[in-house]
Every structure is written in C-alpha cells, then in structure tokens.
Chain A
C-alpha cells in the first residue's frame, strides 16, 4: 500500500507570494491533517479534513487555508507569505481520525526569502 505522498518536497518562495501544497493520503483513509514543524516548536496542528469538511482547526491566521477533494486528496494554501512561514509542512492521513494513528508523509520544506 502506498504511503502518504506530499508534493513538492521543497519550495522556495518570496515574501508576499502564495503557495499551494498537495497531499495524497493512503488509499481508503478519509481523514487528512496538516501540521507545521519548526525548530523548537514541535508539530503545530493546522487543520483536519474529513469527507471534504474541515473538522478541526488550529490557531493559525486566516492566511493558512486548506481543502479536501472527493477522492480525499488535500491541498493547503498559504497566502501573503511571511519569513516566519518557513517550515516543514507535514500531511497525515488516518482511517477516521478518531483513535486511529496518523500516518505522515515526508513533508514539504518551504523556505520563504
């Protein structure tokens, strides 16, 4: 079974630009979550989607948004990029999201210059 696939692996953007990251979950998984990892901050929860609906949201500004498609694939968008948005963005999928472990992709490393 293929794992969680995130594209692209690396991105370099300039302040003020916007970026879209993509995530394909494990086949059959309906829940997709996004996390931001920065040094010293661990993994910060962004949002979770289940059956195309945002079910949970973390404490990030509205510049961070996401969506999920009918095939469970998900995208995350960050608008008006800031230097502090430089991070590893991780996508994770699970069967239902409740009491089922998250399976993570290898992440997209975003650098904002």
Chain B
C-alpha cells in the first residue's frame, strides 16, 4: 500500500518558468511533510518541510503548499534553473519517531 504517491515520474520545464511537483498521501495521521532533492550517486538532500498546522511554507525559490482536506502537497520552484534538474521526493511522517514514508520520486528536467 503506497501511502505517499507521486504520480508523475517525470516533468520537463523551461528555464525561468515555474516547476510544480505534486504529491498525494492517504494516511490522515501524517502531520509532517518534507521535500528532498536527489542527484545521481548522491544521497537525498533536504529542501523544505511543512507541518500540518500550516498550509504554506516558503524558502527562497521553493514554496511548499499543503491541502489537508485533499491530502495533497505540492512544491513550487520559481524561477526554475538548470541546476534544479534532479529527482524530487516528497515524504511524510506521523509523529512521534523518525519514520519517513517516501513517494517514488519525480525527475525534474529544467531546459535552458
């Protein structure tokens, strides 16, 4: 049972435009959500997180939106840059404890 789903395996965006990566979850007990970026041959790198008491969190070019009623979160990257090309994973956790459930990832390609 895939509790966290990223239904788009890949996304291609032009440099300077907005990238929107989506993630759906099924477990209503999740209360902490994160996005990670992964380059080949490296471990995932933490990007941004949001707790269930918020519906938006911003950090520079990255904004995460959480819609609890729809059990949906999204990551917006504005403006997109070629260096953003990587696989993006969303993850969720139900406190307490450090068990994160990851989606399958979306490969973002930002073309110059």
Footprint of B on A, CB under 8 Å?
Answer: 4, 31, 33, 35, 40-45, 48, 50, 55-56, 58, 90, 92, 94, 96-107
Footprint of A on B, CB under 8 Å?
Answer: 6, 32, 34, 36, 41-46, 49, 51, 89, 91, 93, 95-105
A42-B104, A99-B32 known; A104+B98 contact, CB < 8 A: no
Contact in complex: B101, A97 (CB < 8 Å) = no
Q: How far is the CA of A96 from the CA of B96 in the complex (A)?
A: 10
Contact in complex: A48, B104 (CB < 8 Å) = no
Q: How far is the CA of A111 from the CA of B100 in the complex (A)?
A: 25
Find the A residue at minimum CB distance from B47. A101
Contact in complex: A106, B41 (CB < 8 Å) = yes
A42-B89, A99-B32 known; A105+B43 contact, CB < 8 A: yes
Q: How far is the CA of A96 from the CA of B99 in the complex (A)?
A: 11
Contacts of A96 on B, CB cut-off 8 Å?
98
Q: How far is the CA of A57 from the CA of B6 in the complex (A)?
A: 23
Find the A residue at minimum CB distance from B95. A98
Query: Chain A's nearest CB lies how many Å from the CB of B8?
Result: 13
A101-B49, A104-B45, A106-B43 known; A45+B100 contact, CB < 8 A: yes
Find the A residue at minimum CB distance from B2. A42
Contact in complex: B98, A50 (CB < 8 Å) = yes
